[in-house]
């Protein structure tokens, strides 16, 4: 998919779905605050773990989770999958699939005491990013000149809006550089 999202002073900015980034850019392999523990027969989701089932994890959390932050993970599976921390309205194609958590020790180590609210927001963000990965919401932008020649591009943006913002910023930069180059050539 290639969508024209901006045209200015002879340059065109395109938003392009990043098919390569979708398969090779699993955000659960990044340096995350949270650990995602999922149980699903049909999908390998979240982080690798050694829990055999949800009950075993819950028992572990009772012993080790005091002062930590834990959020439920829900999956909707219908013509693709999507994940979030709140339930979906469809009881047939959705349900709780696991948890994302950060222990008290991890939160204190990364952000200091009294950071539970911050940790909760960060875990929500990790789930949103993972959902973008699951749903293919990974993008790139491409800037071309009037002749259709490639001028600039960048890939791997999670979220179309973020990619558009960055692409528009780069388009402004390219135009500025082009004008400076024209001034230099005129001297």
Q: What is the pLDDT of residues 36-77, one digit of tens each?
A: 999 999 999 999 999 999 999 999 999 999 999 999 999 999
Residue 132 has pLDDT above 80, yes or no: yes
Output the pLDDT for position 184.
59
Buried b / exposed e along 21-36 (16+ C-beta atoms within 10 A)? bbeeeebbeeebbbbb
Q: What is the pLDDT of residues 83-98, one digit of tens each?
A: 999 999 998 999 999 9
Output the pLDDT for position 176.
92
Output the pLDDT for position 130.
97
Average pLDDT, stretch 105-111? 96
Confidence of residue 19 (pLDDT cuts 50, 70, 90): confident
Q: Percent of the chain at pLDDT above 70? A: 95
Judging by beta carbons within 10 Å of its beta carbon (0-12, 13-18, 19+), is residue 159 exposed, middle or buried?
middle
d(CA 178, CA 175): 5
Output the pLDDT for position 33.
98
Output the pLDDT for position 187.
53
Q: Kindly report the pTM of this predicted structure.
A: 0.88
Output the pLDDT for position 21.
62
Average pLDDT, stretch 17-30? 81
Rounded to the nearest integer, the mean pLDDT of the chain is 93
| Of the candidates 140, 139, 181, 150, the residue with the CA atom closest to the CA atom of residue 11 | 150
Domain ranges within the chain, ordered by starting residue: 2-23+138-186, 32-135
Q: Percent of the chain at pLDDT above 90? A: 87
CA distances from 56 to 42, 98, 135 (A): 20, 12, 29
User: Which tops the pLDDT comparison, 20 or 106?
Assistant: 106
Confidence of residue 23 (pLDDT cuts 50, 70, 90): low
């Amino acid at each position: 998919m290639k969508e024209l999202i901006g045209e200015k002073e002879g340059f065109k900015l395109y938003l392009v779905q990043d098919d390569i980034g979708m398969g090779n850019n699993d955000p659960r392999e990044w340096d995350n605050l949270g650990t995602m523990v999922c149980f699903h027969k049909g999908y390998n989701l979240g982080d690798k773990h050694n829990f055999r089932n949800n009950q075993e994890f819950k028992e572990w959390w009772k012993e080790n989770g005091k002062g930590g932050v834990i959020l439920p993970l829900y999956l909707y599976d219908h013509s693709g999958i999507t994940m979030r921390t709140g339930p979906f309205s469809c009881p047939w194609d959705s349900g709780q699939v696991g948890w994302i958590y950060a222990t008290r020790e991890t939160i204190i180590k990364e952000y200091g005491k009294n950071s539970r609210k911050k940790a909760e927001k960060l875990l929500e963000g990790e789930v949103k990013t993972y959902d973008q990965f699951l749903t293919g919401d990974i993008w790139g932008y491409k800037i071309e000149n009037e002749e259709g020649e490639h001028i600039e591009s960048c890939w791997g943006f999670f979220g179309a809006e973020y990619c558009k913002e960055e692409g528009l910023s780069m388009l402004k930069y390219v135009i500025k550089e082009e004008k400076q180059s024209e001034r230099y050539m005129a001297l």
